[in-house]
Structure 1
């Protein structure tokens, strides 16, 4: 019996260590394979999302632009072959109520502030601002959020065109309410701004505060 004991326990320990090492070396490639499979599936339409694998459990991370996008990402990763459990650690993009946007024009340039939808909306609005007011410095302080009303872009385009006719002032959209305050570049601009506000506003816009002035030089004529 003494001879058996002398080789039995060292042998058991060696086998256990070799088994543990084999499991460790095999698990890492499997983790990487599942991680790559899940992330490749997400890349197509959900660039905001990322997946990490721990064993056969998947962790979904990121900030989803909408509830629909989050549900879609969960469906995609849940269907990844080999995944046992999905731990949803993703969050939703903040909801802005009301969803607001403002164009402020001054001697320093143009300030775009408020909210902007997820995706290419920021580039789209910046391009529209450059077209409406070419050669003027634009400062972007827009924050991405959910909650943009239908017709938001149409009303933003209208706001940028009107802001171009001001020497200084602000055009603000709050939900669907349209506010404008400032000084028109000239009397013709003043008439044009007012006339546009007395027609149906684009994007379901509703007139709010309108406070327009003509430049002192024009009012003295």
Structure 2
């Protein structure tokens, strides 16, 4: 019996340790493979999302631009082969009610403030601002949010074109309400701004507060 004890228990302990070590070394590669697969699937249409997997349990992280995008990411995570459970730690972008956009034009340049949708909208707006008012410094203080009304970018383009006709002033979009105040660069711009406001406003915009002044002619004669 002593001989049996001398080799039996050390052997059992060795096998147990080898089993634990095998599980330890095999688990990490499997988790990494699942993580890579989940993130590759998410990156196609949900670049905001990321996944971490531990022991086949997936944790979804990120800030979703919409409820639909969050649902889509959860669906992709759930369909990843090998995933056992999903812990949704993703959050939604803040909802802006009303969704606002403000252009402030002064001698110092252009200030863009308010809200901007998730995605490439910011880059598009900045490009439109530079095209409408070339050579003028543009300060971007836009915050990404949900809640942009349909036609928002069309209304922004219209606002930028009118801001270009001001020497100073402010153009504000609040939901679909469009307001403008300030001084037109000249009589022609004053007439052009007012004429555009009498026509249907792009993006289904609705006229709000209009406070325009014509430029004062200081040339004399």
TM-score, scaled to structure 1: 0.95
Seen in structure 2, the aligned counterparts of structure 1 residues 187 and 220 have a Cα distance that, compared at 3 Å, is farther
Structure 1 window deviating more from structure 2 (66-75 vs 2-11): it is 2-11
User: Are positions 1:79 and 2:85 aligned together?
Assistant: no
SS in 1 for 2:110: strand
* Residue 117 of structure 1: how far off its partner (Å): 0.7
Residue number in structure 1 paired with 2:30 = 30
Which whole-Å CA distance do the structure 2 matches of 1:193 and 1:165 have between them? 8
SS at match of 2:83: coil
Tell me which residue corresponds to 1:125.
Answer: 125
The equivalent of 1:5 in structure 2 is: 5
Distance in structure 2 (CA, Å) of the matches to 1:40 and 1:201: 42
Residue in 1 that maps onto 2:206? 206
Q: What residue is the counterpart of 1:103 in the other structure?
A: 103
Q: Does 1:47 align with 2:51?
A: no
Deviation at 1:218, TM superposition (A): 6.0
Q: CA deviation at 1:219?
A: 11
Q: Per-residue displacement from partner, 1:164-193 (whole Å, max 9, x unpaired)?
A: 010111100000011111111112211211
Whole-Å separation in 2 of the counterparts to 1:195 and 1:41: 50
Pairwise CA RMSD of aligned residues? 1.6
Question: Cα gap change, 1:72/1:127 in structure 2, threshold over 3 Å: closer, same or farther?
Answer: same
* 5+ residue gaps, structure 1: none
Structure 1 residue 17, shift from structure 2 partner = 1.2
DSSP-derived class of the 1:25 partner? helix
User: Quick one: distance in 1 between partners of 2:127 and 2:49?
Assistant: 27
For residues 8 and 104 of structure 1, the distance between their equivalents in structure 2, rounded to whole angstroms, comes to 84
Task: Give the Cα–Cα distance (whole angstroms) in 1 for the partners of residues 179 and 45 of structure 2.
Answer: 36
Q: Which runs of 5+ in 2 are unaligned?
A: none
Count residues with an aligned counterpart. 221
Contact kept in structure 2, 1:184 and 1:212, CA below 8 Å: yes
Structure 2 partner of 1:171: 171
**CA displacement at 1:12 relative to structure 2:** 2.2
Is 1:172–1:179's contact at 8 Å kept on the other side of the alignment? yes
**What's the CA shift for 1:212?**
1.0
1: CA distance, partners of 2:213 / 2:121: 32
The offset of 1:9, in angstroms, is: 2.8
Q: Deviations over 1:12-52 (max 9, x none)?
A: 22221111100001101101110111111111111111111
The question of whether the paired residues in 2 share the 8 Å contact of 1:186 and 1:218 is answered with no
Residue in 2 that maps onto 1:147: 147
